[in-house]
Amino acid sequence: MLYIEPQAGVQPVVQLIESAHRSVDLNVYMITDRRILAALRADHDRGVRVRVIIPEYPYRAGRRFVATERRELAQSGVVQRYAPPRFEGRYVFDHAKYIVIDGGRRYLVGTANFTYSAFRRNREYLWIGDNQRTGAALAAVFADDWRGRRLQRPLPSPLVASPDSARALAAVIRQPGPVAIETEEFGAVPAIERAVRAKHGDIRILVPARESRHDRRVLAGLAREGAQVRLLRRPYLHAKLILGRGEAFIGSQNFSASSLYRNREIGLRLHGPALARLKTRFDRDWAHARPLDGRD
């Protein structure tokens, strides 16, 4: 089921955690939300195994933040580990945002960190599902990263994992018909830029109003070739969405070289009724955004 933030709030995540019978495995870039921490603590207290993977060096977060995060997780009874070393470096991160319940019985994949802002101020998308094949594959990703080893098997569709997810995202962009994109970052990634150009203007791109100068230059170049680009001020656009008539993608992947080629990221391709809800939400955000060049 699709949840759209900030309207849905944190309750869907809390209820998912509370539904665990045996285990909760969670990999997230940041976790500070008090209700989520309380739900993890309650699970631990009733005998559920709770494991969390977090990055040791999240971008622009100091050691004090990481120490506080670790302390709060420890107080919740969580067994925690830092991400594998290959995802800890200069502009390389474990940036995934997913939960696996009871070895894959249920799962969450989304765009949101587990912070106050994610559920109260940001545009985010979450998918909570129970497909057993997808759940088992997510459980395997967590198990491999927990042990610090590379993925032992290719991920089945609809999952999309980084490193090396640019080709999969470009394929979603290239689907027939109009396409809409929401992303917090839009850097210089040739595979993505080629896919956008191939739409010949049949594409809308929405980014935050405070997008970086570098990303604005990339977007301006695409706009000159026909892409429609707008800037959204509120809510803050932290979502990562590709939306077409036939399928959509949501996940942790930004449109940057690090995110698509080097980070640990997890996303999901969606089909069916969720696409109509995503389109309605995108169209409303688009109507409240302003053009990249400042002109209507």
Predicted confidence (pLDDT) at residue 60 exceeds the cutoff of 70: no
Average pLDDT of the segment spanning 262-274: 98
Distance CA 74, CA 90 (A): 27
Distance CA 96, CA 168 (A): 17
* 296 located within any domain: no
The pLDDT assigned to 296 comes to 46
Closest C-alpha among 107, 94, 152 to residue 1: 107
The pLDDT assigned to 44 comes to 96
Confidence label for 59 from pLDDT (cuts 50, 70 and 90): low
Residue 210 belongs to a domain with what CATH number? Answer: 3.30.870.10
Co-location of 89 and 225 in the same domain:
no
**Which of 133, 156, 179 corresponds to the end of one domain?**
156
Cis peptide before 12 (omega within 30 of 0): no
Cis peptide before 190 (omega within 30 of 0): no
* Residue that has been written with the tokens 């070289």 in this structure: 257
Residues 163-175 pLDDT 10s: 999 999 999 999 9
Least confident window among 11-15, 59-63, 70-74: 59-63
pTM exceeds cut of 0.85 = yes
Domains held by the chain: number: 2
**Which of 156, 191, 211 corresponds to the end of one domain?**
156
